């Protein structure tokens, strides 16, 4: 049996899979077991911000693995590797977010944020936005997408309410005295790269403040330079000061690490035993994240994402003019870009056509294709992707 047959036979499949077995990667490219090359415009779902097999990441893994991978007694003991990452994050995070704890996945970080918000406020209700995605644990599933997301697992865990993303009035009427927190993405990623007005997040923050609810900003997909600034909330006007900020994906460029940062006020209410986890701030993960974040800073990659994002968006707008019936909208911030096509069927067809021509893209909800390349993308790689997209859309049938 080959890799695909073994995985299909022995693994559990929760999603539609693409029939390629990826063996290795370098920069923006990956190769399958047959030696065929693909240009990766998915970054492993927004994770590999420095591309594949980046030497700084490989070096960090090698050097730290030679020292220690997992601390004795895990979080009971201190780690120079963790201390280094905490120090570097301190300068990047909004000033009021003074304390950080680590997790292994974004869902886990959001789950902890929701849990702590309920304890600290003594309230139960969580407000989130329709079309959002915060993870697949029971807490995070219950505040993701909309009610249909939990139907098959009823009863849902939380007393929660969904409001339309971008709708300030709806948020104002949903957040009440019983609300522990609002959890929100600055830009909805899985929901189809939906970008609200620059003032939206600060309006939500003000509503939270007025009602005594906490604001949890989920930067798991938008953080670490992806949208042209270190965190997408930096582009909010006026500035936003969340109570909790969650991070993941790009933070360690592919190593499974996530984190949440809280204010001193929240930290003061945290007690021993409130949270924990075997891998939370594992020295290997922290060493990789330190290498990734240092590289993002040294190479000024958020700025690069902004510049390349502008070019990509401009070129996608031209594609829209060439294929008016098929492309409904193009949008993006930095290198988190999207093409909204005329139907889900068209999305599937374009994705298949791209795959055949060696380009990997990410279909998401609402007939959207996400383009999330490495922040180190080159101009020629960008041109190559656009050529393949153009041909793939032209060849796609239906609208």
Ligand X SMILES: Cc1ncc(COP(=O)(O)O)c(C=O)c1O
Q: Which is nearer to ligand X, 185 or 381 (CB)?
A: 185
Show the tokens assigned to 137.
Answer: 């644990």
Quick check: is 218 catalytic?
Answer: yes
111 is a contact residue toward ligand X (CB under 6 A): no
Q: Does 134 bind ligand X (CB under 6 A)?
A: yes
Q: Per CB under 6 A, does 105 bind ligand X?
A: yes
Q: Which of these ranges, 18-26, 128-136, 168-176, 207-215, lies near ligand X under the rule CB under 6 A?
A: 128-136
Alpha-carbon distance of 181 to 115, in angstroms, equals 10
Given candidates 131, 135, 225, 254, which one binds ligand X under the rule CB under 6 A? 135
Among 27, 51, 106, 373, binds ligand X (CB under 6 A): 106
Query: By rule CB under 6 A, what string of x and - marks binding of each residue 247-266 to ligand X?
Result: -x------------------
Catalytic residue among 218, 231, 308, 326: 218
Pick out residues in 358-397 that bind ligand X (CB under 6 A): none
User: Does 185 contact ligand X by CB under 6 A?
Assistant: yes
CA atoms within 13 A on the CB side of 127: 26
Distance of alpha carbon 143 from the chain centroid: 16
> Which uninterrupted H or E stretch holds 31?
strand 29-32
Q: Which of 28, 110, 236, 263 binds ligand X (CB under 6 A)?
A: 110
Among 40, 218, 340, 381, binds ligand X (CB under 6 A): 218
Q: Environment class of residue 92 by beta-carbon count within 10 Å: exposed (0-12), middle (13-18) or buried (19+)?
A: middle
Q: What share of the chain is helix, strand, coil (3-state, %, to 5)?
A: 40, 20, 40
* Tokens (6 digits) for 216: 């949890």
Tokens read off for 144: 């993701």
Nearer to ligand X by Cβ, of 121 and 221: the residue is 221
Intra-chain end-to-end CA distance of the chain, in Å: 38
Q: Between 51 and 248, whose beta carbon lies closer to ligand X? A: 248
Nearer to ligand X, 277 or 358 (CB): 277
Q: Is 76 a catalytic residue?
A: no
Q: Can you count the helices (H) and strands (E) in the chain?
A: 13, 15
- Give, in order, the Cα–Cα distances in Å from 45 to each of 39, 134, 221, 248: 14, 14, 8, 11
State the number of binding residues for ligand X (CB under 6 A): 15
Among 44, 131, 189, 223, binds ligand X (CB under 6 A): 189
Q: Does 129 participate in binding ligand X (rule CB under 6 A)? A: no
- Could you tell me the two tokens for 326? 């098929």
Pick from 38, 41, 133, 260: which binds ligand X (CB under 6 A)? Answer: 133
Distances in whole angstroms, Cα of residue 220 to Cα of each of 19, 108, 122, 225, 232: 28, 11, 26, 11, 10
**Catalytic residue list contains 133:** yes
List residues with catalytic annotation: 133, 218, 249
Binding site for ligand X (CB under 6 A): 45, 105-107, 110, 133-135, 185, 189-190, 218, 220-221, 248
């Amino acid at each position: 049996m080959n890799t695909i047959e073994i995985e299909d036979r022995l693994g559990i499949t929760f999603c539609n899979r693409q029939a390629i077995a990826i063996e290795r990667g370098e920069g923006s490219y990956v190769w399958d077991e047959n030696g065929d090359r693909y240009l990766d415009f998915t970054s492993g779902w927004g994770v590999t911000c420095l591309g594949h097999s980046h030497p700084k990441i490989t070096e960090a893994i090698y050097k730290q693995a030679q020292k220690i991978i997992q601390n004795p007694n895990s979080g009971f003991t201190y780690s120079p590797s963790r201390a280094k990452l905490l120090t570097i994050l301190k300068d990047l995070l909004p000033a009021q977010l003074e304390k950080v704890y680590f997790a292994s996945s974004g869902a886990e970080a959001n789950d902890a944020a929701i849990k702590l918000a309920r304890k600290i406020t003594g309230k139960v209700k969580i407000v989130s936005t329709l079309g959002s995605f915060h993870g697949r644990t029971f807490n995070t599933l219950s505040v993701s997408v909309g009610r249909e997301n939990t139907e098959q697992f009823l009863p849902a865990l939380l007393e929660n309410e969904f409001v339309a993303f971008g709708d300030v009035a709806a948020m104002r009427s949903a957040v009440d005295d019983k609300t522990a927190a609002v959890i929100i993405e600055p830009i909805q990623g899985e929901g189809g790269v939906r970008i609200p007005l620059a003032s939206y997040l600060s309006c939500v923050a003000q509503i939270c403040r007025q009602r005594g609810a906490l604001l949890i900003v989920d930067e798991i997909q938008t953080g670490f330079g992806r949208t042209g600034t270190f965190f997408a909330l930096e582009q909010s006007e006026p500035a936003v000061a969340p109570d909790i900020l969650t991070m993941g994906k790009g933070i360690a460029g592919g190593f499974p690490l996530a984190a949440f940062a809280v204010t001193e006020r929240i930290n003061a209410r945290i007690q021993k035993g409130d949270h924990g986890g075997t891998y939370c701030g594992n020295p290997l993960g922290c060493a990789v994240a330190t290498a990734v974040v240092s590289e993002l800073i040294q190479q000024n990659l958020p700025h690069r994402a902004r510049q390349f994002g502008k070019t990509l968006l401009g070129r996608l707008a031209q594609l829209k003019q060439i294929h008016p019936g098929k492309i409904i909208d193009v949008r993006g911030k930095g290198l988190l870009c999207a093409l909204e096509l005329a139907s889900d069927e068209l999305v599937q067809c374009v994705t298949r056509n791209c795959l055949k021509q060696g380009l990997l893209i990410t279909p998401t909800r609402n007939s959207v294709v996400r383009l999330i390349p490495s922040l180190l993308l080159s101009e020629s790689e960008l041109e190559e992707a656009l050529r393949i997209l153009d041909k793939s859309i032209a060849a796609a049938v239906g609208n």
